[in-house]
Structure 1
Amino acid sequence: MSQLIANNSTQATLSAEALALLKRLISTPSFSREEARTAALIEAFFQEKHIPYQRLNNNVWAQNQYFDATKPTLLLNSHHDTVKPNKSWTLDPFTPLVQDGKLFGLGSNDAGGCLVSLLAAFVYFYNRPEMAYNVVMAATAEEEISGRDGLELVLPLLPPIDFAIVGEPTEMQLAIAEKGLLVLDCTAHGVSGHAARDEGDNAIYKAIQDINWLINYQFPKVSPTLGPIKLSVTIINAGTQHNVVPDTCTYTIDVRVTEQYTLEEVIETIQANIQAEVKPRSIRLKPSSIPADHPIVKAGLALGRFTYGSPTTSDQALLSCPSLKCGPGHSGRSHSADEFIYLREIEEGVQGYIQMLEQVV
Structure 2
Amino acid sequence: MDIQKLTNNAISLLKKLIETPSFSSEETQTALLIEEWFQCNKIPFKRTKNNVWATNKYFDSTKPTILLNSHHDTVKPNSAYTNNPFEAFEKDGKLYGLGSNDAGGCLVSLLATFSYFYSNKKLQYNLVIVASAEEESSGKNGLNSMLKIIPKIDVAIVGEPTQMHLAVAEKGLVVFDAKIKGTPSHAAHPNNNNAIYNSIPVLQWFKDFSFGKTSAILGDVKMTVTQINAGSQHNVVPGHVDMVVDVRVNDAYTNKEIAEILERESPCDEINARSLHLNSSSISLHHPLVKAGIEMGRNTYGSPTLSDQACLSCQSLKLGPGDSTRSHSANEFIYINEIEEGINIYIELLNRVIIKNDN
Alignment pair present for 1:58 and 2:66 = no
Deviation of residue 358 (structure 1)?
A: 0.7
Deviation of residue 198 (structure 1)?
A: 4.8
Query: Are the aligned partners of 2:70 and 2:103 in contact in 1 as well (CA < 8 Å)?
Result: yes
Residues 259 and 35 (structure 1), Cα distance of their counterparts in 2 relative to 1, 3 Å cut: same
For 1:2-151, list aligned pairs within 5 A: 10-151=2-143
Could you report, residue by residue, the CA deviation over 1:64-110 in whole angstroms, capped at 9, with x for unpaired residues? 11111122111000001112222332322222212222212221111
Could you report, residue by residue, the CA deviation over 1:39-73 in whole angstroms, capped at 9, with x for unpaired residues? 00111111111211111111100011111112211
| Unaligned ranges ≥5, structure 1 | 1-6
Alignment pair present for 1:309 and 2:337 = no
Could you report, residue by residue, the CA deviation over 1:288-308 in whole angstroms, capped at 9, with x for unpaired residues? 111111111111111111001
Could you report, residue by residue, the CA deviation over 1:188-212 in whole angstroms, capped at 9, with x for unpaired residues? 2233345555546332344333222
Query: Are the aligned partners of 1:181 and 1:255 in contact in 2 as well (CA < 8 Å)?
Result: yes
Query: Are the aligned partners of 2:178 and 2:268 in contact in 1 as well (CA < 8 Å)?
Result: no
Could you report, residue by residue, the CA deviation over 1:107-130 in whole angstroms, capped at 9, with x for unpaired residues? 111111100000111111111124
Query: Are the aligned partners of 1:174 and 1:300 in contact in 2 as well (CA < 8 Å)?
Result: yes
The equivalent of 1:291 in structure 2 is: 284
Query: Are the aligned partners of 1:193 and 1:201 in contact in 2 as well (CA < 8 Å)?
Result: no
Query: Are the aligned partners of 2:132 and 2:142 in contact in 1 as well (CA < 8 Å)?
Result: yes
Query: Are the aligned partners of 1:234 and 1:254 in contact in 2 as well (CA < 8 Å)?
Result: yes
SS class of match (2:36): helix
The equivalent of 2:346 in structure 1 is: 353
SS class of match (1:46): helix
User: 1: CA distance between counterparts of 2:133 and 2:227?
Assistant: 27
Alignment pair present for 1:336 and 2:290 = no
Number of residue pairs the alignment of both structures matches: 353
- When structure 1 is superposed on structure 2, of 186-195 and 274-283 the one drifting more is 186-195
SS class of match (2:309): helix
SS class of match (1:255): strand
- When structure 1 is superposed on structure 2, of 148-157 and 253-262 the one drifting more is 148-157
SS class of match (1:22): helix
Please give the TM-score of this superposition, normalised by the length of structure 1.
0.93
Deviation of residue 131 (structure 1)?
A: 2.1
User: 1: CA distance between counterparts of 2:349 and 2:207?
Assistant: 42
Identity %: 56
The equivalent of 1:201 in structure 2 is: 193
User: 2: CA distance between counterparts of 1:69 and 1:311?
Assistant: 35
Residue of structure 1 aligned with 2:314, choices 315, 318, 321: 321
The equivalent of 1:227 in structure 2 is: 219
Deviation of residue 163 (structure 1)?
A: 0.8
Root-mean-square deviation over aligned CA pairs: 1.6
The equivalent of 1:159 in structure 2 is: 151
The equivalent of 1:4 in structure 2 is: none
User: 2: CA distance between counterparts of 1:206 and 1:260?
Assistant: 32
For 1:258-297, list aligned pairs within 5 A: 258-273=250-265, 274-297=267-290
- When structure 1 is superposed on structure 2, of 233-242 and 122-131 the one drifting more is 233-242
| Unaligned ranges ≥5, structure 2 | 355-359
Residue identity opposite 2:330 in structure 1: A
Deviation of residue 244 (structure 1)?
A: 4.1
SS class of match (2:147): helix
